[in-house]
Amino acid sequence: MSNSYQINSKEEYDLAYKKSIENPEAFWSDVADNFHWHKKWDQVLHWDFVSPKIEWFKGGKLNITENCLDRWVKSQPDAAAIIWEANDPNEESRTLTYKELHFKVSQFANVLKNNGARKGDRICIYMPMVPELTIAILACARIGCIHSVVFGGFSAQSISDRIQDAQCNIVITADGAFRGNKSIPLKSIIDEALITCPSVKKVIVLTRTSIPVSMLNGRDVWWEEEIKQVENKGNPECIAESMDAEDMLFILYTSGSTGKPKGVVHTCGGYMVWTNYTFVNVFQYQKSQIHFCTADIGWITGHSYIIYGPLSAGATSLMFEGIPTWPDSGRFWDIIEKHKVDILYTAPTAIRSLMGFGLDPIKEKNLSSLKILGTVGEPINEEAWHWYNENIGKKNCPIVDTWWQTETGGILISNIAGITKSKPTFATLPLPGIQPIIVDENGNELVGNNVSGNLCIKFPWPGILRTTYGDHERCRTAYFSTYKNLYFTGDGCLRDAEGDYRITGRVDDVLNVSGHRIGTAEVENAINMHSGVVESAIVGYPHDIKGQGIYAFVIFNGIHTDEAHTRKDICITVSKIIGAIAKPDKIQFVSGLPKTRSGKIMRRILRKIAEGETTNLGDTTTLLDPAVVEEIKLNRL
């Protein structure tokens, strides 16, 4: 790639950063000029962080899929857009060129139309990591439908909540999904979810595992049969809907500190520009390179750096269906060798888990194609960073530590591969357009270096969330009300003597378990659904592989003859309500919880106990019943 906005040196980074701060509108207008628009925007940026109201490229008309597909079909039709590696190494991998992907997206967009999809409809996608997932997402975007992808590990209840919140009318799923040596019955989970979702009129089902499924007459149709109908009609062309830059592109649900997950909304123009700009620059993508992002498309990392960032840059994106440890813990390294991967983008939790298998699985694997490594999702510890650098990068590959969030659309703070310096455990510097500030509890800006506090951003960038679906007030209170005129990230952070940023983790009641955000309130609500549970409190504790583990303190008054059995029951309840990813790692039964006189659970104390700190618990004099703390300490797991 040699876009006019590709940063090629530290000087260019400094210059771009300076320009982006001094004149953001001119800066982003220049970047946006590199895309295909049906009509140019009327105004580059309109914003206030009070309402909040944020508009980028308003009045501009475009379709993101033309930028991800059509323009590459013209210039490089036979270049690989997607390389897909199956769960089972014995199954053949698939490559879709830009021409083929364009064809299939158009075809499936017509399937959606035949099934009643109209511009503005919300479509829920619950699928395995197969190319058809990418096809389904892009087909929605092609016709102006808003996709809401739900990660394949979520339960029927979680899917139902998300479908109801967005009032989806179509669901796209598969019979099942392969994950390691397991198969997950996606369609039957959807069937259960849909009992409480009257808005859904059609379910389109892809065949993947060929397990028997029940197909409801009039509602459920097979993907393959619908495609045949489109084929029979001849022309698969599907003209891309002309969207306003500020029309919604997708909703992605994410956990917060309170209540149910929020539907984070991203729009067409700004999100496209941001994911593309950050992809091209942070990873220093060069034409024909193969980019392997190991995330699931059910999370924002997959949306931005498997699909929209790479495809809008004409890149080759490798999509992997399986898990890093099956059939053995050398699976990632085999994939890298087989497909000659240039860029590997993964999570610290995966690195830590693979470190645990020692160096044998890497021996004799040819990783020499690798040029750039990346991490995302959680703070990376020093040991994992060095292991990644030495054993995977062979000290030859810059590591980018990319900090960002579902709400930010793409990377905000990261070094630029090979161009700005990397520093273990530091995300380092803000990208052009990003103005981070660190504030204390009262919102006072901490200026200068060697400070730590809460991380906020004071100016919008094109990829910032616009709202939370159906509840703008929630967006305001969650992100724009803690500190006046600032976007509050929920993360703690320090800026060291050299001005580099290090993210230290969440400062709210959100856990980061294996790089996945989990709200403590959500897990508590799920545990409390168990008929024997009176009350519960969740905190995080340091976990060698997951980063944070889930520690549950539970008051139980049901009859439990066997504590181990009750623990399993509680885990099953959590899996049913949220999904297996939210299962507690430890459950301690307690007779009471440390509460203030006003009834508030003092999590600070529980957090310390869970972390193994038993002497220095801070002030406990305000507790209603200090004795309960002694009991909890004594029985700590």
- Minimum distance from residue 364 beta carbon to ligand PRX (Å): 31
**Amino acid identity, position 152:** G
Rounded least distance, CB 304 to ligand PRX, Å:
8
Rg (CA), the chain: 24
Considering the complex, state which of residue 404 and residue 556 has its C-beta at the smaller distance from ligand PRX. Answer: 404
Kindly state the smallest distance separating residue 440's Cβ from ligand PRX, in Å.
19
Contact 433, 232 (CB under 8 A): no
Cβ at position 255, least distance to ligand PRX in Å: 8
Query: What is d(CA 565, CA 549) in angstroms, rounded to the nearest whole number?
Result: 20
SS3 assignment, position 362: coil
What is the three-class DSSP state of 578? coil
Nearer Cβ to ligand PRX, position 287 or 386?
Answer: 386
Q: CB–CB of 170/204 below 8 Å?
A: yes
- Count of H-run helices and E-run strands, the chain: 20, 30
Q: Could you say which DSSP state residue 493 is in? A: E
Q: How far is the CB of 400 from ligand PRX (least distance, A)?
A: 9
Chain residue at closest Cβ approach to ligand PRX: 406
Rounded least distance, CB 221 to ligand PRX, Å: 33
Please give the span between the terminal C-alpha atoms of the chain, in angstroms, as a whole number. 53
C-alpha 545/C-alpha 536 separation (Å) is 25
Strand-strand pairing, 290-293 and 316-320 = parallel
CB of 448 to ligand PRX, least distance (A): 22
Using alpha carbons, list the distances in angstroms from residue 571 to 166, 528, 555, 558: 28, 11, 15, 15
Footprint of ligand PRX on this chain (CB under 6 A)?
254, 300-301, 376-379, 401-406, 427, 489-491, 503, 505-506, 512, 517
Nearest residue (CB) to ligand PRX, 179 versus 517: 517
149 vs 376 by CB, closer to ligand PRX:
376
Handedness of CA 144, 39, 412, 479 (dihedral sign): negative
Cβ-based nearer residue to ligand PRX, 145 or 293? 293
Which amino acid is located at 161 in the chain? Answer: D
Q: Could you tell me if 539 and 524 are in contact, meaning their C-beta atoms sit under 8 angstroms apart?
A: no
- What whole-number distance in Å separates Cα of residue 83 and Cα of residue 131? 8
Least CB distance to ligand PRX at residue 447 (A): 23
Nearer to ligand PRX, 165 or 378 (CB): 378
| Amino acid letter, 230 | V
Residue in this structure with the two tokens 């006019």, named with its chain if needed? 4
Complex with ligand PRX: residue 60 or 298, whichever CB lies closer: 298
If the CB atoms of residues 69 and 434 are measured against ligand PRX, the closer one turns out to be 434
Q: Is the CB of 101 or the CB of 280 nearer to ligand PRX?
A: 280
Q: Closest separation between CB of residue 322 and ligand PRX, Å?
A: 20
